[in-house]
Amino acid sequence: MNYNKEFDNNTEISWCPGCGNFGILNALKISFTELDLSPKDILVVSGIGQAAKTPHFINVNGFNGLHGRGLPSALGAKSVNKSLKVIVTSGDGDSYGEGGNHLIHNIRRNIDITHLVHNNQIYGLTKGQGSPTTAMGQSTTLQSDGMKVDPINPISTAIALGCSFVARSFSGDINHLKEMIKAGINHKGYALIDILQPCVTFNRINTFKWYKDRIYYLDSEYDPFNKLKAFEKSLEWDDNIPLGIIYKEEKIEFLDRFPHLKGKKSLVDKSLDPKEAEQFIEEFI
């Protein structure tokens, strides 16, 4: 699959050879190409981690922030520039650990962004500690005698919180992944895509083979608008891991909930008089 080479840049990629992040990066470039987007149309936001390096390796607008704090920056950018396609790219630790509180409340807001979680079930940047999605009992570089806490289920959590688009894909299947990304971008509201992304260095359990032996694809008979069925599907793991759009609903997007913002120009499109700005500041002095 080809993509528009204008999304390439000359930054040397620092991921380990064979890392699942390469598949996600390629799927992003293909998705942007097939949606006929240009670099100026897109903002990729991240926090800290291996997944959060993605904005460094793609030629679009980028913002690299603090650990777990990609979502607030994305919310701010989208609020002042509604025409931007805003993508948050982060890891399972960045999103479900440090950024867990922001995940909850941006799902509530239903802000129109696409949130990609590179879920490798480990902290890859900091050398293999257990993450919020590491399995109970799994040995890691820090938890050498096995994890002692239950893993979070991001799919069921998102559905229970009322997320308007919840999907799962696999970095080893770029064709499926780019279709999920495109669907997430086209969705009017908050789109969470949990991406199974093997860490070839620090997670020797959840390998490419481990996932390929367990994943299966939801077919056309599956109804993602049925919330009870979606929640039931979200509980499948272990021997059968479903991929696809697991839940979807139509909800009013965050900015459209405010009469003074709905259908109006973005803040970046408005002409601002410096004298008006001075008068505004003086009111607070």
pTM of model > 0.75? yes
pLDDT at residue 128 in the model:
86
- Write out pLDDT tens, residues 12-58: 999 999 999 999 999 999 999 999 999 999 999 999 999 999 999 99
Cα–chain-centroid distance for residue 240?
Answer: 23
pLDDT at residue 277 in the model:
75
DSSP codes, the chain: ----GGG---PPP-SPTT-THHHHHHHHHHHHHHTT--GGGEEEEE-SSSGGGGGGGSSSEEEE-STT-HHHHHHHHHHH-TTSEEEEEEEHHIIIIITHHHHHHHHHHT-S-EEEEEE-SSBTTTTSB--TTSPTT---SS-TT---SPPP-HHHHHHHTT-SEEEEEETT-HHHHHHHHHHHHHSSS-EEEEEE---TTT-SSS-HHHHHTTEEE--TT--TT-HHHHHHHHT--TT-EEEEEEEE-----GGGGSTTTTTSPPGGGS---HHHHHHHHHTT-
Is residue 195 predicted with pLDDT exceeding 80? yes
Phi-psi map region of 162: left, alpha, beta (phi>0 left; psi -120 to 50 alpha): left
CA distance 278 to 275: 5
pLDDT at residue 105 in the model:
96
User: What fold does the segment set 5-282 form as a domain?
Assistant: Rossmann fold (3.40.50)
CA distance 192 to 178: 14
Query: Of 61 and 135, which is predicted with more confidence?
Result: 61
- Write out pLDDT tens, residues 148-191: 999 999 999 999 999 999 999 999 999 999 999 999 999 999 99
pLDDT at residue 7 in the model:
96
Q: Look at the chain and count its residues.
A: 285
Query: Of 175 and 281, which is predicted with more confidence?
Result: 175
Mean of the per-residue pLDDT values for the chain? 94
Is residue 207 predicted with pLDDT exceeding 80? yes
CB atoms within 10 A of CB 216: 11
- Write out pLDDT tens, residues 140-150: 888 889 889 99
Phi-psi map region of 29: left, alpha, beta (phi>0 left; psi -120 to 50 alpha): alpha
Min mean pLDDT across 19-23, 185-189, 233-237, 264-268 is at: 264-268
Is residue 240 predicted with pLDDT exceeding 80? yes
